[in-house]
Structure 1
């Protein structure tokens, strides 16, 4: 299993990729319920960060699929 440093690095790289290649999606990241913590003061441990990374991957994957459908 990945250590927290590697997870944070992957989150940063994925976020940078979204910002660079999909700016319209990047603008909505701070408004997306998938990327917002549920509790007022969430405990940011390894499990939470892995879940966040997975939500970013899913969000990007869905966005890319929707764009493919739109452009057909």
Structure 2
């Protein structure tokens, strides 16, 4: 599997995890600024997809860190 396919697979898996385990977060993915192109014909390359994957990971990590209850469980 080439690098871009691997990144896309990881994005799909992470997005599915967010949709399944964190539905309250999933609804905000459409509002992620990286999905709004600033050019009429943006170039989507491996680096752009790596950046998007990283932003998804950071979004989930921040959500988990800020929504933990005192007993360590995740609030849904």
Task: State the TM-score, normalized to the length of structure 2.
Answer: 0.81
Higher share in helix: 1
Stretches of structure 1 lacking an aligned partner (at least 5 in a row): none
Partner of 1:19: 19
Partner of 1:45: 45
Q: Would you identify which runs of 4 or more consecutive aligned residues in structure 1 move more than 4 Å?
A: none
Stretches of structure 2 lacking an aligned partner (at least 5 in a row): 71-76
What is the CA distance between 1:7 and its match in structure 2?
Answer: 0.4
What root-mean-square deviation, in Å, do the aligned CA atoms of Structure 1 and Structure 2 show? 1.5
Task: State the TM-score, normalized to the length of structure 1.
Answer: 0.85
Larger radius of gyration: 2
